[in-house]
Structure 1
């Protein structure tokens, strides 16, 4: 009887860890013509994010001339996001976040499942495609 309880407990723990791993990744799409460059992928790197310890994951999509960078930050504490400076509050594909144009790049930051997601793209249209 104790072996059955042990195996059920192990099964539940493994299942919970698998669900946590899936939910830690934001729902994003790869736009047509773009491919993920695995050589530029960064997985679970410990960094400082807005003065807090965080874990960062980076995915870069390329199409030969342009790139889209998606960075997620799992911070040790939650915080409110508010637009400041030349950024503005904006909703893209149902995601409320902060939007900013930096030269010829567009950046959109939003919260998804307790983490911060930053999409850096050469156009707002590509950000919409990533989130569609």
Structure 2
């Protein structure tokens, strides 16, 4: 019995930690039916955005065969989003760059000092994510 309670508590802790992780990376919604795959999470690793060094945090949300990748970039200095290609677009009040590539939708925008990239199967899902 005690092992069952411990497993339930651990499962709840993982769920709360995952939800907190997404909230810490960007203020977003998780679309209905999608769950975070903790095995694909990247936390504060070295990377780059538009050729500038960045600290990268990434979360993958899955729903069957569909997936959404939410990535935040902490970059020293500013990045010119227009260099990312695509078109200027505002989604739910967030101004950024939108493009469709390889059958997927990409949206890159800035929140505070971080840049947020959403790679999703379609624009409707991006609209559900961005708050």
Does TM, scored on the shorter chain, surpass 0.5?
yes
Runs of 4+ in 1 over 6 A off after TM superposition: none
For the pair 1:118 / 2:85, whether they are aligned, the reply is no
The structure with the largest alpha-carbon Rg is 1
Q: CA RMSD in A?
A: 2.1
Instruction: Flag the 1:37–1:24 CA change in 2: closer, same or farther, 3 A.
Output: closer
Q: Is the 8 A contact 2:100 2:106 kept in 1?
A: yes
- The separation in 2 between residues aligned to 1:102 and 1:48, in whole angstroms, is 20
Matched with 1:61 is 61
Which stretches in structure 1 are left out of the alignment for 5+ residues? 1-20
- The separation in 2 between residues aligned to 1:84 and 1:108, in whole angstroms, is 10
SS in 2 for 1:126: helix
Which stretches in structure 2 are left out of the alignment for 5+ residues? 1-20
- The separation in 1 between residues aligned to 2:130 and 2:49, in whole angstroms, is 23
- The separation in 2 between residues aligned to 1:100 and 1:52, in whole angstroms, is 21
Q: Deviations over 1:54-84 (max 9, x none)?
A: 1000000001110000011101111232266
1:24 Cα shift?
5.8
- The separation in 1 between residues aligned to 2:84 and 2:26, in whole angstroms, is 24
Q: TM-score, normalised by structure 1?
A: 0.77
Q: Equivalent residues in 2 for 1:1-132 (5 A)?
A: 25-82=25-82, 85=85, 87-132=86-131
Q: TM-score, normalised by structure 2?
A: 0.77
Select the structure that is richer in helix.
2
